């Protein structure tokens, strides 16, 4: 029954991957934290590592299924992509040695700080385009993310297992991107971050003696989540529902807060 429940939750992961660019991190970390709570001090580590694996596979499928016209917004952004990958590898390596409490409460604190920032600063809930659109300076993809943010974004995303969308979606929004483009581009950016993160996890496995755990990966939970999520991603990626911008932004915010709350009380 637990496996079936995870498959159903995987459907939600697939839905959030398409609609919000989460790739699985927002949903996977809280769920794995609950499922593997009996692991004690290893729970947060397993949740972050398993989340990275699920996000990587989801991001690959979502990116391959994305329209090339949308992916074109990342053309000639090699410095950004390279620094995101570097940060992803460094963050994952650091996470191997971090205390469990730091991973758990770091996740909560990061989510809380992001949520407060979204409410306090303008530009996320309503796209500022009135002047820029008139002079043709900002397309639906906005001005993009400065390459200098690559290592911090990649490092925090892989260290805590939250994926890149927590930082990239708000930053792209404030650069003038629509919610649809920002959440869609979060998937290829997550792919870049999580590829080295998963590689580091595989090459530096932790010894956790529990059923279904290989190294620090809960492969049974990951498989269940992917079985539920991948078909949803494939089906919806080219049939993305049209959601009003303001509702799309608030939906992102609500799920953000919910993910932080679940990990806080786990």
Give the pLDDT band of residue 48 (cuts 50, 70, 90).
confident
Q: Are 260 and 33 in contact (CB under 8 A)?
A: no
Of 196, 142, 140, 139, the C-alpha closest to 164 is 196
For the beta carbon of residue 156, count every other beta carbon within 10 angstroms. 19
Average pLDDT for 1-27: 81
In this model, does residue 68 exceed pLDDT 80? yes
Residue-level pLDDT at 116 = 92
Average pLDDT for 247-264: 86
Give the separation between CA 180 and CA 200, rounded to whole angstroms: 31
In this model, does residue 10 exceed pLDDT 80? yes
Which residues make beta-bridge pairs with 214? 217
Percent above pLDDT 70 for the chain: 90
pLDDT one-digit tens code per residue, 168-197: 888 888 888 888 888 888 888 888 988 888
Residue-level pLDDT at 23 = 63
Average pLDDT for 73-93: 89
Pairing of strands 217-218, 213-214: antiparallel
In this model, does residue 227 exceed pLDDT 90? yes
Give the pLDDT band of residue 134 (cuts 50, 70, 90).
very low
In this model, does residue 207 exceed pLDDT 80? no
Residue-level pLDDT at 86 = 94
Of 11, 226, 82, the C-alpha closest to 217 is 226
pLDDT one-digit tens code per residue, 146-157: 888 889 999 988
Residue-level pLDDT at 132 = 44
Give the pLDDT band of residue 226 (cuts 50, 70, 90).
very high
Give the pLDDT band of residue 82 (cuts 50, 70, 90).
very high
């Amino acid at each position: 029954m637990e496996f079936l429940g995870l498959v159903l939750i995987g459907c939600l992961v697939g839905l959030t991957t398409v609609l919000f660019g989460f790739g699985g991190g927002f949903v996977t970390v809280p769920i794995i934290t609950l499922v593997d709570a009996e692991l004690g001090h290893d729970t947060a580590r397993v949740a972050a590592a398993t989340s990275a694996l699920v996000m990587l596979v989801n991001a690959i499928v979502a990116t391959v299924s994305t329209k090339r016209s949308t992916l074109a917004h990342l053309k000639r952004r090699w410095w950004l992509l390279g620094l995101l990958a570097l940060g992803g590898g460094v963050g994952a390596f650091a996470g191997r040695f971090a205390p469990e409490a730091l991973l758990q409460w770091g996740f909560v604190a990061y989510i809380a700080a992001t949520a407060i920032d979204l409410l306090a600063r303008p530009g996320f809930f309503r796209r500022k385009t009135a002047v820029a659109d008139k002079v043709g300076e900002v397309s639906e993809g906005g001005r993009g993310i400065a390459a200098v943010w690559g290592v911090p974004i990649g490092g925090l995303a892989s260290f805590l297992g939250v994926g890149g969308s927590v930082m990239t979606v708000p930053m792209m929004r404030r650069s003038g991107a629509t919610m649809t483009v920002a959440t869609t581009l979060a998937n290829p950016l997550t792919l870049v971050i999580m590829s080295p993160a998963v590689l580091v996890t595989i090459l530096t496995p932790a010894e956790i003696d529990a059923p279904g755990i290989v190294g620090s990966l809960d492969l049974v939970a990951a498989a269940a989540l992917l079985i539920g999520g991948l078909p949803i991603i494939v089906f919806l990626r080219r049939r993305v529902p049209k959601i009003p911008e303001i509702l799309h932004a608030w939906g992102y915010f609500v799920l953000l807060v919910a993910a932080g709350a679940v990990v806080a009380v786990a």
